[in-house]
Amino acid sequence: MVKRLFIFLQIFLAITTSQANSILIPMDGIQKNHLKAYGITYYMLLQNITVDWLLNYRGGSFLAPYSQAIQNECTIRGISIELISTAQSNTILQEI
């Protein structure tokens, strides 16, 4: 039973990650560490990664193209992120 659950979670994570085209770094109450969120954004800019600052969305959130390396870095640093699809990203940009 546990083995089946583990396999299901691996498949679910692979599907979810494969659909992620953007990383949203929320700056509202969901964010665990706002200062580190600014830091990862600065880090991405130093890596020549385009980051959009969504001033009127969820406290001034950041939106960047999906990268496994950036996702891992956020996890290591304890930064809250959301993996979103292109459709979700477009909806957010239209909303603001």
80: left (phi over 0), alpha (psi -120 to 50) or beta: beta
pLDDT in tens, 52-66: 999 999 999 999 999
Q: Which residue has the higher pLDDT, 2 or 78?
A: 78
- Scan for tokens 């477009």, then name that residue: 90
Distance CA 72, CA 36 (A): 14
Query: What are the pLDDT digits (tens) for 6-25?
Result: 565 555 555 544 568 999 99
Average pLDDT over residues 18-42: 93
Q: How many CA atoms lie within 13 A of 72 on its CB side?
A: 3
Average pLDDT, the chain: 88
Mean pLDDT of 89-94: 94
Domain that holds residue 74: 2-95
The CATH number assigned to the domain holding 85 equals 3.30.70.790
